[in-house]
Structure 1
């Protein structure tokens, strides 16, 4: 089965121009026209990345935008196991090729967003260059007269400027959007304040990371009271605040403030709001019995049907 391939390979080897090296690898480079991915030598020859990490990075670069590249998704796609893939992802993340961040969708679901950069060093250089103050342009100088007695050497071509790397994340100096205010109850009664304070102080029993100071509890208690005022069960609030916490959790109070603000449920509707809307009544013309032929017909008042009215009409007109 391998004989035709080996024969074609040796035939291509004989067609390479110039002398071939006596040892080492010999490249037979065929130009790609479709289905190819450009990989830099910085990644392919990285001195500290493992071969598994380099290969996984190449595979990630070849995947379409939006493809799931979690540990389980990659293990289902490629022959390597989950442990080996997880270790390779950690290597790429440590060297700046990969960044994983947990974000919350508008429906409340938490997902992991993965950003892959094929040249992290170029991204850093671009940021450093943007942070440096720009130098004022030098004044134009008069062109030097050529020396006619000395042969002029040909000038080397000026290096071409490469297109700058366009960062997909905003710079650190970008203005931040103001955070929405904490929810407030219509009336912070003593009972609501006591229940909200107890719920916040008890969170560390359910999640050891959620250790709050007294100042944090006082600040967050009105928001919890707003949830309780909207007839939200304490177990529901506790589950919302402790479920799927990020690891590691550096700012518990900020996370709770975000969840209490963004995930605030609407007030429960009243009985009148849930009642079906009244259907408009349609006026129905009742049936009447004709005084002449006793046939049923629709009319608002008793009398004759249309046929009797038409028949009696000419006779009454003639008698008159």
Structure 2
């Protein structure tokens, strides 16, 4: 009897109204009053996100503004390593939940700014300003009620008084007349309600923009056995010079045509090795993809031939001649008259 039983959970199950399901999960919902974060089902049940990505997204939503959510900071809070956390952040970027940009501060330092959106699909819909309630109309103050004259006390009748004939009613004095009601104030025009500003264009996250297709891997005009053997040897030997470039046999066979195209264009093996392995990103996760990109993007042009390197021959300049008429210098293959003298002779002959 040393095992402690949780009777509170049993009592909570008994208090759930209605029949319980025969299989599956049973929820005991207790409302939160403090320290809680609202998470949408579009994130919690997203079919394209891994459980690690969903958990990191929930952790980022629960953190306050300005908290560090870099790979190293998250790795210090999660049991997963930096590789899995970096992959999860890339998943969130691909689905629009996360956006990372590099900004340069005034002091020259480059920092990474991270923006997280808890509902990226709402950004695709046009956003309108919330309607403002119309101002309440001004109600004029009620006019003061005129004071009624004070009733006079009845006088006792005199003994043996003779009743008088009824005469006209006495006219009240000016002090007993009711005061005139004040004139009502003119109503104040209500403040016009400003129309809401036009809806701003929907914001489309950069992660959803289509990416251009990758460049095809270059291929030689003819993959001879010598080129194939030299390209395979160069790729297999990369790990001796750069230990992070460890390739599998399938990666080597896939990249052989690209290296053969470089060798066909008379690129030196040391030049190819330096272009492929110089300044790799840290950490390098997929060396085969990096080599494929560099083989396509850095492919040198073919070496020019001897006729292409020959100097351009310019036409020889015509010698200077002296005009027989005006003694002006002009260029011509034979002596004679300049252009003006020839034109003048043509007009004289006409």
Band of TM-score, shorter chain: 0.3 to 0.5
More helix by share: 1
Give the TM-score normalised by the residue count of structure 1. 0.39
Higher-Rg member (1/2): 2
